[in-house]
Amino acid sequence: MNLERRYQNVEDFAKAARRRLPKIFADYIDGGSFSETTLRRNRDDFDRYALRQRVLAPLNAKSDLSVTVTGRASRLPFGPGPVGFLGLYRKDGDIAVARTAAKAGIPFVLSTFSINGLGTIRKATGVAPEFQLYLDEDPAVNADHLEACRILGVDRIFLTVDTAITSVRERDVKNGFRSVDRMTPGLFWQFAQRPAWSLNLLRSGFPEVELVKGRAEFGRGAMAQAGNLSRRLDKNLTWDTVVELRKAWPGQLFIKGISDPDDAALAREAGVEGIVLSNHGGRQLDHGRSTVALIPEIREALGPSLALFVDSGFRRGSDIVKAIALGADYVLMGRPFAWAVAAEGEAGVAHLINLLESEIEITLNLMGLSSIEQLRRAGTEVLR
């Protein structure tokens, strides 16, 4: 069955990915913190907003879905956000997502926790990725990351600030993710039950996180490195940290992980170009609010001049339309791209992008709109 018939939406990719991946990785992608209440709210709260259908409006033959934010153009109003360990879900998965994004004319954000590093992604795609920076407890490690960004032409960094305190993701605890640093009988059995994944990924040995490969303090192999990367996150992040990074980094600086209006107001004073409204996909504070419900308050606190990106819970083109109507500039998506590359590799990622693009265009047209710019100007008038 071809991809167009088999995969009609994001959930179809998720189901296929779960069938292909060992449980330890499927649960790592899917899971949230504690009771997973925030995880559920991220989806449920999209239903709070209905869209207005308008008819007999003059429409362009082809809708313009492009946006330009802080001087950087994107052919579509969404793109792949940073996802750790994409290269564990399929060999060179981070390269596959980055390369497909480049072909689609949308930016790609590489995680510090990615299997392939900045230089490899740049070589594979011909363009420098954007970079999600997790600050390590060792300033020398952070300096190395920033220097690599400068050398390779990275022009936008996303400083992630909501994981200095790591929450409990009960699925990961049960599976041993970040605590298993070697092959165990249970892990071997999981891998044996997924022969297609095992043959694809393990023929050249178990992958490593390229950005810390060769550093003894991080260990060897992605499983050990995952635990050490997490344990070594700088737990003393403050607004002074942001100010110091702003002085050290000449390119665009976004703060990722803001989900309170008071913090958005402080970000406005910190000299950054923008923020990512994010609750880390429901993986940090349990019983928090959904990001989509927070967009109007965050936009008001942030003001009109700073860029407002948003992630967490986005699965449909209509979700993206609602976010922009509420005041967001751009949507980052994590799990959908992880599921797509796990299920079908580069072809799956390309099909996912096409599906979302089509959903957005059809949704806009049924609302009597032909462009993202028209949607932005209309704002909440298109909502009920």
Q: Which residues are catalytic?
A: 280
* Cβ-Cβ contacts under 8 Å for 230 (sequence gap 6 or more): 166, 178
DSSP state for residue 117 in the 8-state scheme:
-
* Cβ-Cβ contacts under 8 Å for 269 (sequence gap 6 or more): none
Here the contacts of 101-105 (C-beta below 8 Å, separation 24 or greater) are 101/349, 101/353, 102/126, 102/127, 103/350, 104/75, 104/76, 104/350, 104/353, 105/73, 105/74, 105/75, 105/76
Please choose, from the candidates 23, 116, 13, 44, the residue with its C-alpha nearest in 3D space to the C-alpha of residue 335.
13
Count Cβ atoms below 10 Å from residue 179 Cβ, excluding itself: 11
Q: Please identify which residue in the block is written with the tokens 């023929």.
A: 203
CA separation for the pair 382, 384 (Å, rounded):
7
Task: Classify each residue of 148-161 as buried b or exposed e, where b means 16 or more C-beta atoms within 10 Å of its C-beta.
Answer: bbeebebebbbbbb
CA separation for the pair 282, 97 (Å, rounded):
23
> DSSP 3-state assignment of 255?
strand
> Strand 78-80 to strand 330-333: parallel, antiparallel, or no bridges (unpaired)?
parallel
CA separation for the pair 69, 379 (Å, rounded):
17
